Amino acid sequence: MPMRRSTVTRRTRETDVTVTVNLDGQRDIEIVTGIGFLDHLLTALAFHACWDLDLRCVGDLEVDDHHTAEDCALALGEAIDRALGERAGISRFGWAYAPLDEALARAVVDCSGRPWPQVALGLERHAIGGLACENIEHVVTSLAMSMRASVHVDVERGANDHHRAEAAFKALALALRQALALEGSGVPSTKGVLGGGGP
């Protein structure tokens, strides 16, 4: 089985991000973004998806958290996309529910090569730790776009925004774990190729 592993570096005037992902890993995870709650969410994502993930970012946090959150997600999504190659043999579809105490989140994904983010977390606080709640949804959106997947994530209930956000990332992790699992050798599409405009 070929290694599904890649490294991406993204450098701009706003951030310097390096990410290495192994989709068939052993949960060897090291994440340093400068934003504690972003580290927390990405750790949950990698852990429950069973990836190895090393992600380091130096960003312009003196401005705010937006550039760091966005660029980390874009780099991670690109790394996943590269690690998948032609996406041959993957299950392609995945879906999962994840609870965290009173919160319940649902994620459904299609790793089709066609990006479509649909994200509704229903967060009410301005921020959790140093991460603006609007940027939590933006992380999922940016990840979906750069990994070229249809990603639907919503939180069905929950009174605590920390719980709502964390449950969403855990549900997404479980759905991706299912979708990226290897189950054959061919491309999982009636077209014989993923990334185009059909099923």
Give the pLDDT band (50/70/90) at residue 197: very low
Q: What pLDDT digit, counting tens, does each position of 50-105 carry?
A: 999 999 999 999 999 999 999 999 999 999 999 999 898 999 999 999 999 999 99
**Residue 68 in tokens:** 């760091």
What is the pLDDT, as a whole number, of residue 186?
A: 66
* pTM summary value: 0.93
Distance CA 144, CA 122 (A): 19
pLDDT tens for 149-169 read 999 999 999 999 999 999 999
In the chain, DSSP assigns E strands to 5-11, 15-22, 29-32, 52-59, 93-100, 103-110, 116-120, 127-128, 131-132, 150-157
